[in-house]
Structure 1
Amino acid sequence: MYGKISARPLFGSQQPLFNPNGRCLSLWLAGHAAIGLGWAVVFAVIGWWGVVALDIAIIATGLAIYGLIRRGHLTFGLLAAQAALMLIAIIMGLVLNVPTADAPRVSHLYLLLIAALGYLNYQRENSRIQLALIGLCLLAFVVLASAPLASPYVLTMPDTLRVGGTWANAIFATTLLAASVHAMQAEFVRKDRFSRDLMAALWNDEFQLVFQPQVDLARATIGAEALLRWNSPQRGTVSPIEFIPQAEKLGLMIAIGGWVLEKGCYTLAQWGKIPQFRHLTLSVNVSASQLMHADFENFVRDTLVKTRANPRQLILELTESILVTDMELVIARLHRLRALGITISLDDFGTGFSSLSYLRRLPIQQIKIDRGFVQDAASTSQSTSLVKNVIRIGHDLDHDVLAEGVETMEQHTLLAQAGCTQFQGYLYGRPMALADFEHRVENEPRPAAQA
């Protein structure tokens, strides 16, 4: 069994822990802002305005990071946060918090907090840059904790202030670190429960296929795309953006994807028994890793035989990420799938790695214009021209062109005038249960040839 669920993530791989309202991130940002504000007040009272500026920089960093994350730049925001705050912690350790006989250095404790945030971010998205930042934080912590290093520009503070600051920083940093560890543990428990629920979902039949209509120029239904939903008894309806990344990490996409393809083929087989439905196609997404699985072709072939579905009504949608794998193997495998009668579609065209040379070699029959292009199509003349060129390229290569994400009549009209003949989006219908989709088709006026 194989797997890429045809469900659309809203944005990247952002997970609840890391959105602006996530417990760990909110705690971390609030804590550092409080540190900066507290010490800014102390140093303003004694007139150390240079240090006040440094504390204000801490606060500004936290606000800037929050703003970046609110605008969707999560990965960059978190990396920038760690880099900036690591630099501030090191400067404070070398200039303000130099160890003396009465007051040891404690500012380096904050480097452990920064490393903890880095670890959480690495769990969300594996990144060499993130690993490097974690390593630098830990290295700086070890160096500052082990050696009495100091800058030539040390700002000497009264011992009474140093001793009080040492206790305050140590208590505050330790408290924040303990709270972060507690939040991390709670998140690990949540993920563990989520993973166990997800593993049980397949065997408990908690997944459901819904169908989003695809239409022609006359807005008659010509097929649908199969989309996955998880109806959890404990969690309610779970967004694909939450469970698909976790399923991939757990290795469940193989089984789940096989379930989707098999269910889709059974649906096609049922449609084939009803004259009014025989013209309908069904699109199912296939990931690069799924396509490259050694047994994928055999599974598709066996599923078609077992379900007695018409392969000519099945469309396998591939993302452009297939073009960064072994191209010769991909082309050979797609040709063999095509020989079964299956239609091959290139999904989200224009957002990935495609080139005209690859498009000419791939045995695809359909390209789907990315929803981002469609939604921007009417915004500027440049966007309109871009969409027209994409449609022209598709026709020049003798491919059907389907625009997805169509939401307004203005978009539909523009795409139709540009030569697009197939459409999908909220304008024509939201994803719906199988019974609702079939009811829709049954109640559509039929051309005389189908009547």
Structure 2
Amino acid sequence: MSSWTEAGVKNTRARNLILFGGFACVAASSVWGIFYASKSYWCLFGINLVTVSAGLAMIFLSFGNHIRFAGIIMAHALVFTVTMSSLSDVPVDALPRSVYMNMLPVSAAIFFLFNREGIYLRVILPVLSLLIFLAFSINVPQLSHFELIAPVPPSMAGVWINNITGIVATAIVAVMMQANINARRTMESDMRRGIARGEFHLHYQPQADRHGAVFGVEALLRWNHSARGNVSPMEFIPLAEETGLVIPIGDWVLRMACAQLVQWSKSPETAHLTIAVNVSAVQFRQPDFVEQVKSIVLVSGARPEGLKLELTESALAEDPDVVLERMQALRDFGIQWSLDDFGTGYSSLSSLKRFPFDQIKIDQSFIRDLLADGRNMAIVDTIIRLAQSLDLAIIAEGVETEAQLKALHAAGCPHYQGYLFGKPLPAAELDKIFLSERKAVRAFG
């Protein structure tokens, strides 16, 4: 999955699948480990002990919301365990090999968990597990004479248990996969209806200096579902990107933001405000992106200088010349560029060198534990000094406490965004606050 910390439907099912796998590892391997120890099959006992440990790690990591890491442990632990156990499962004339049947649900689970990951987790690992399943199912002779693992005499009960376990586990994974497909289809259909019915709207979160003077806002998309109520952006935006719905939604966001700029330009209390808009990588890569943005701005009558487009590094992962051309064209038009979630990617420094950014946005993951983790403070301090040396504006997001604000100010960061300065609000509510007390932004929360 593209994001393992999101609160989406698939993430919930992924956690459930990993928890199921973790408890299955602990329960089954504990029983088999005791059995192998009683028969003095110490190599197999050690394998099952490792599997129990992996199962416990999967459970604790899942409850700690480290879903991706737990999934990686599960995938490798189960492939290892089933493979090594199958090597000891030597068939005889009356009883076939059966442990390998557990590799089938393992393969399906790996594909379900990692079908949006890199090539190793998405392709190589599930294909490898299927090849192992195939090798044992056709009884490759060399697999029946593995010197490091003593063969275990098969029993009819064991054969039945292994086959039933493999079939039931495969069915459970299949049900989860189908449920995920159904949920995605429903969500996509609901999004299409939501666009038509006007269920999407924008909230604006203030961006301010340390005194609370607001100089801009970030436009944040919200979806008020007709039946479910407010739906988390982390739940619907990834699916919107996959289905292409993020393109019309993104255009709508730009139109609404530009219309709000025009509205705010009519009042002296708000005429100075800028609006930052997140641009999806899918939207940015459209061939007509530059023309579409220019058209929206010109039709609205908004001043281009009041619009700031935020990109994450995933949007830059294509032909650098094309990216540079698009960014420069809109920058020449007057629009500013901000590099969002800075420090969380792998090519931030090269991005700053190559592309015409005006601002760096420090990711909130560094701010959250700023005072508790000295490494975060060191990273933030380095980012601030880097921005200053490159003559780039800098803003820290996720500022929630006075202590964080003081630390960031001492490090040289002049601009902030977070609940300390205001929660995201509809434009109408912001207007009331601007009119009543221009600089009392800290009363927003």
Q: TM-score, normalised by structure 2?
A: 0.88
What is the CA-CA distance between 1:174 and the residue it aligns to?
1.6
What is the CA-CA distance between 1:48 and the residue it aligns to?
5.0
Residue correspondence of structure 1 range 323-338 to structure 2 within 5 A? 323-338=316-331
Deviations 1:159-178 (Å, cap 9, x if unpaired)?
A: 6xx11211122222222222
Q: Of the candidates 257, 264, 285, which is equivalent to residue 264 of structure 1?
A: 257
Deviations 1:5-49 (Å, cap 9, x if unpaired)?
A: xxxx98655744445884433333333433223334544565655
Q: Contact conserved, 2:13 with 2:176, CA < 8 A, in 1?
A: no
Confirm or deny that 1:412 pairs with 2:405: yes
SS at match of 2:23: helix
**More displaced stretch, 164-173 vs 77-86:** 77-86
Q: Of the candidates 91, 98, 106, which is equivalent to residue 106 of structure 1?
A: 98
CA separation of 1:45 and 1:176: change in aligned 2, threshold 3 A: same
Residue correspondence of structure 1 range 98-247 to structure 2 within 5 A? 98-147=90-139, 148=141, 149-153=143-147, 155=150, 157=152, 162-247=155-240
CA separation of 1:56 and 1:16: change in aligned 2, threshold 3 A: farther
**More displaced stretch, 248-257 vs 15-24:** 15-24
What is the CA-CA distance between 1:357 and the residue it aligns to?
6.7
Q: Contact conserved, 1:68 with 1:77, CA < 8 A, in 2?
A: yes
Q: Contact conserved, 1:20 with 1:26, CA < 8 A, in 2?
A: no
Deviations 1:112-152 (Å, cap 9, x if unpaired)?
A: 01101111113353533331111111111111111253134
Q: Of the candidates 17, 23, 29, which is equivalent to residue 36 of structure 1?
A: 29
Q: Contact conserved, 2:224 with 2:230, CA < 8 A, in 1?
A: yes
CA separation of 1:212 and 1:367: change in aligned 2, threshold 3 A: same
Deviations 1:159-215 (Å, cap 9, x if unpaired)?
A: 6xx112111222222222222222322222222212211222212211111110111
Deviations 1:312-365 (Å, cap 9, x if unpaired)?
A: 211112223455433333333222212222222222233335566753554333
CA separation of 1:358 and 1:168: change in aligned 2, threshold 3 A: closer
In structure 2, the residue matched to 1:3 is none
Amino acid across the alignment from 1:308:
G
Counterpart CA distance in 1 for 2:3 and 2:131 is 37
Amino acid across the alignment from 1:145:
S
Amino acid across the alignment from 2:250:
G
Amino acid across the alignment from 2:288:
D
SS at match of 1:276: coil
Q: Contact conserved, 1:20 with 1:69, CA < 8 A, in 2?
A: no
Counterpart CA distance in 1 for 2:375 and 2:108 is 45
Residue correspondence of structure 1 range 397-436 to structure 2 within 5 A? 397-436=390-429
Q: Contact conserved, 1:28 with 1:176, CA < 8 A, in 2?
A: no
What is the CA-CA distance between 1:446 and the residue it aligns to?
6.6
CA separation of 1:193 and 1:324: change in aligned 2, threshold 3 A: closer
Q: What residue ranges of structure 1 are gaps of 5+ in the alignment?
A: 1-8
Q: Contact conserved, 1:378 with 1:384, CA < 8 A, in 2?
A: yes
- Count of aligned residue pairs for this structure pair: 436
RMSD of aligned residue pairs (Cα, Å):
2.8
SS at match of 1:279: coil
Amino acid across the alignment from 1:56:
L
- Taking CA–CA contacts closer than 8 Å with sequence separation of 6 or more, which of the two structures ends up with the larger relative contact order? 1
**More displaced stretch, 42-51 vs 237-246:** 42-51
What is the CA-CA distance between 1:436 and the residue it aligns to?
1.5
Counterpart CA distance in 2 for 1:56 and 1:381 is 37
Instruction: Report the identity percentage.
Output: 35
Deviations 1:77-112 (Å, cap 9, x if unpaired)?
A: 3233222222221222221x2111121111110010
Amino acid across the alignment from 2:80:
L
CA separation of 1:11 and 1:224: change in aligned 2, threshold 3 A: farther
SS at match of 1:108: helix
**More displaced stretch, 199-208 vs 137-146:** 199-208
Q: Of the candidates 289, 293, 296, which is equivalent to residue 286 of structure 2?
A: 293
Amino acid across the alignment from 1:88:
T
CA separation of 1:354 and 1:440: change in aligned 2, threshold 3 A: farther
Q: Contact conserved, 2:308 with 2:335, CA < 8 A, in 1?
A: yes
Residue correspondence of structure 1 range 51-130 to structure 2 within 5 A? 51-95=44-88, 97-130=89-122
